[in-house]
Chains A and B, each alone.
Chain A
């Protein structure tokens, strides 16, 4: 049985004028680390709120651990942990008080499940008497995770836990998630950062309320249908303009110091030819290589096809 099931779920706001979630179906297996990848406004938070029984869908059915999200909401609430996107702790309570509060709420004690949060909590323990409102972003994030875990949930919902957090803290956070996964907890996590997609076992790419693709990151990348080249030159802005204005170019986007480019109807373009062609046009220090797509390439392509 799947840990999480969304079956043709639709959610609208403002009397049907705004469709936040549009006929979404997906399943998450027990013990899986599943990522919902998409920008702000894609519908990620609405999906989480439906699954955590805080929002009613208009159409479709959803269940968590076999319990219906509408009819059996009490059972679900006892069995899941939820870390909302915005800081959800009590700012005026200390670190220890917040943790104690959430433990009590779920009829348990900090001691009972301490092993589960030990590794994370030890990092913020030196600040246990500090008010949550006075913590740094990274520490708030750790405390919120502890509070979502203290009742030993079977499924953990994390809504954009790494948004606005720097690269170093983001890496630490994902390492913590891998450890929790080892303990058998099913984790559903959302993020706007495409580079975090590869840290999940399976992902759903979501845009404008619709799921564009659900699969392992590897398989999504494998289905990228075109030859993809990374190109750079001394004047990258002129290179971008030249390539975009060329009728043979199908797509051309900046990716760090390179441009990622696909061509129309040229099944066998080779890097050498492309390099010579660009040099003939007066570009200097040209470098061309054929590359494997990233999740961000796939996301952009699916977005443009939609």
Chain B
């Protein structure tokens, strides 16, 4: 049996009368690419914030990288990586400075940071840009760098919140090559996206509707179950009946 990196049981978050996340349960295995889909307002962000140690659940249990979401938030934060379309890097720091900053935040020794940083800049083909401000890089490069920085401290799991929004089709695919590579090295990937072709690249996919996990399976089995040709149709069938909508 593969090792469980996330274990989530009846996890619930309530704001007053509003149940944002309603008794969700699932496990994510080591090295798995786990797609976390849902309509706007389905509760994805709230659930992700709990799993990242940024918010307490109202009830239920969850462990991330073996740490409890109620009692060990700081240990969770040290063992995960996070990147989103909106926030990832400091635009007015250079490529090298960003890498050193995030390496430092995660407590890596400076010598180690320098060594890994040089390797990373070479692998990404950013040698000529190392001293440039991140704000001056094209979006695609920024996103690839942001992902590399998010896994720089070799976390057990990385949370990616719409990492490829607005990125051109070639870079979007190169980004997924990096995701596959990271997963093959044993890093667990927890990813949200609005591109339904990307849902096909996941090992398993959940679809959240109105705070609940409405479906959870491999893309192939979901398509079979909903008699759909692609994940776009699966998603549409599940989410079309949603009552909630929000950002």
With the chains together, A237 CA to B173 CA distance in Å?
Answer: 13
Given contact pairs A138-B40, A256-B200, A304-B170, A164 touches B245 in the complex (Cβ within 8 A): no
Q: Tell whether B215 is near chain A: CB-to-CB under 8 Å.
A: no
Given contact pairs A39-B168, A167-B196, A256-B197, A136 touches B247 in the complex (Cβ within 8 A): yes
Interface hits, B6-36 → A, CB 8 Å: none
Partner of B166, one of A192, A194, A296: A192
- The interface residues of chain B lying within 8 Å CB-to-CB of A194 are 169
Q: Tell whether A90 is near chain B: CB-to-CB under 8 Å.
A: no
Q: Is there contact, CB below 8 Å, between B236 and A167?
A: yes
Main secondary structure of the interface of A (DSSP, over half): mixed
- The interface residues of chain B lying within 8 Å CB-to-CB of A201 are none
Produce 1/0 per residue, A263-288, CB < 8 A to B. 00000000000000000000000000
Query: Besides A166-B39, A300-B169, A303-B168, 7 other CB < 8 A contacts?
Result: A164-B162, A167-B239, A237-B184, A256-B196, A256-B230, A257-B230, A303-B169
- The interface residues of chain B lying within 8 Å CB-to-CB of A164 are 162, 165, 194
> In whole Å, how far is B195's beta carbon from the nearest beta carbon of chain A?
8
Q: Which residues of B contact A (CB under 8 A)?
A: 38-41, 138-140, 162, 165-171, 173, 176, 180, 184, 194-197, 200-201, 219-220, 230-232, 235-236, 239-240, 242, 244-247
Q: Tell whether A41 is near chain B: CB-to-CB under 8 Å.
A: yes
Residue in B139, B194, B235, B244 with the greatest tally of chain A CB atoms within 10 Å? B194
Q: Tell whether A40 is near chain B: CB-to-CB under 8 Å.
A: yes
Residue of A nearest to B220 (CB): A257
Interface hits, A111-145 → B, CB 8 Å: 136-139
Q: Is there contact, CB below 8 Å, between A168 and B239?
A: yes
Produce 1/0 per residue, A176-214, CB < 8 A to B. 000000000000000011110000000000010000000
Q: Tell whether A163 is near chain B: CB-to-CB under 8 Å.
A: yes
> In whole Å, how far is B144's beta carbon from the nearest beta carbon of chain A?
14
Partner of B240, one of A136, A168, A193, A256: A168
Q: Is there contact, CB below 8 Å, between A165 and B176?
A: no
Q: Is there contact, CB below 8 Å, between A165 and B40?
A: yes
> In whole Å, how far is A95's beta carbon from the nearest beta carbon of chain B?
15
Q: Is there contact, CB below 8 Å, between A41 and B139?
A: yes
- The interface residues of chain B lying within 8 Å CB-to-CB of A168 are 39, 235-236, 239-240, 242
Q: Is there contact, CB below 8 Å, between B246 and A40?
A: no
Partner of A40, one of B166, B197, B240: B166
Q: Is there contact, CB below 8 Å, between B200 and A257?
A: yes
Q: Is there contact, CB below 8 Å, between B40 and A166?
A: yes
- The interface residues of chain B lying within 8 Å CB-to-CB of A137 are 40-41, 245-247
Given contact pairs A39-B139, A136-B41, A163 touches B166 in the complex (Cβ within 8 A): yes
Q: Tell whether A299 is near chain B: CB-to-CB under 8 Å.
A: yes
Given contact pairs A138-B245, A237-B180, A257-B219, A167 touches B169 in the complex (Cβ within 8 A): no
Q: Tell whether A254 is near chain B: CB-to-CB under 8 Å.
A: yes
